[in-house]
Structure 1
């Protein structure tokens, strides 16, 4: 998975494709998949609205920045404000976990500490009727609206996301 990051504190996470950059300042980190049999239990404690992600985004919250979608409405990239400490926190807490539900293989890609991801106030939104991929968001109330902060990606093995893509983190 590629992450671009600039001196102004803006970053972009490529969830589906790579960024196709060939710069020198690359940092490459390899990760292993960790089985977590307790993960489905933790996910059950979160809010699972009936709305799909795009409908909720249009009606219930705004995004921190613009999340880019593919033609099938799956998130393919996320733009973040990443001050140095927040960026390091995200990298330090990056994990890939596997778990099974009803004999289906799922993966969870974590971009925050577990206590931020599995906060009972967080919401999980499906991307499509297939319910093969989801995102966990923390919705922070502002004066007249809520802002959605991306915390984790969950997907089935046969979703548009490829687990191999997430096993190597490349930072530009």
Structure 2
């Protein structure tokens, strides 16, 4: 929205309702859409909330997973954004959203988990809009690249995540065959 008051009210409502538990944690993803926010105070307040909330729930497997798993919703939101395009200049516009997510949520302890989530998206199809699955794959690759860069600049180790992760079935469905998965990974 071009009106600051509308953006601020939206952000404040989401933060308030996430804190009180009135809003499902999947709505964390909407806060990362403020990455291009021109009003630095609003962006600073939102980043502060996200960083604090990620740190507070660091030991809580359930809550920590929610904020980390919001990467799935964020990629899905961006892949279905009306301004998404496959040209380099268009894709670059989406980097700040993922960078904001990583700056608020990523730690040396969870970076392999986040990388695993991003990679797993390439073995799926978009349930809500299958034609946009390729957009998700592009954003998955972009996210993996940004994670590798973050690991390099932060001197973090990126190891293979040992666990299993199930993505949100209302957003992504696993591709039916290994052949389809291989085809997507080559694209």
TM norm structure 2 = 0.23
Higher relative contact order (CA 8 A, sep 6+): 1
Higher Rg: 2
- Greater strand share, structure number: 1
